[in-house]
Amino acid sequence: NQHGDILFSKYYCDTTITEEEAIDNEKILMWERTLYALTIGEWDKAKIKQIACAGDKYIVFCSVEELLFFVTGYGDDDELSISHLLTEMIALLRGILHKKGVTESNFLDNYSKICMSLDEMVSCGVVNLLDKAAIEQYVSLKAFTGAVLP
């Protein structure tokens, strides 16, 4: 949120590293502090997408109502691809949170549905599905009757 509290985060790592290395809380905390320090001065301008870099990592972020959303990537996941992913994530979240708006309390009230939806969208660090209707169908466990999925 705009106070710097993290409501949801998910990290994907290189599959060649061990699980112990992947779950290094100190590295995660350091990255979150870096992300905060790099972007806090831009949060008031984040009604439109903002782009920042930290070493070889790209950061795209924007605010929607009460919340700030960040997506980071490196290598093939450049600022264009993660910008597109962020756009689709926000569209999906707005669909889930449409009745009461994109607020912290509404986000937390719908936390399980949001987690399931984002897991459908990105799995193991790979963007699987960006079709909002298909994701909503998967999450609601109804038969999908739309376009053919890959």
pLDDT of residue 53: 82
Residue 92 and residue 139: Cα distance in Å, rounded?
Answer: 12
pLDDT of residue 15: 47
Residue 71 and residue 12: Cα distance in Å, rounded?
Answer: 12
Among left, alpha and beta (phi > 0; psi -120 to 50; other), residue 63 is: beta
Phi, psi for 102 (deg, rounded to 5): -90, 80
Percent of the chain with pLDDT over 90: 1
**Beta strands in 55-144, from DSSP E residues, in sequence order:** 57-64, 67-74, 122-123, 126-127
Q: What is the pTM of this model?
A: 0.74
Phi, psi for 51 (deg, rounded to 5): -125, 135
Tell me: pLDDT of 23 over 60: no
**Burial class of residue 86, CB neighbours in 10 A (0-12, 13-18, 19+):** middle
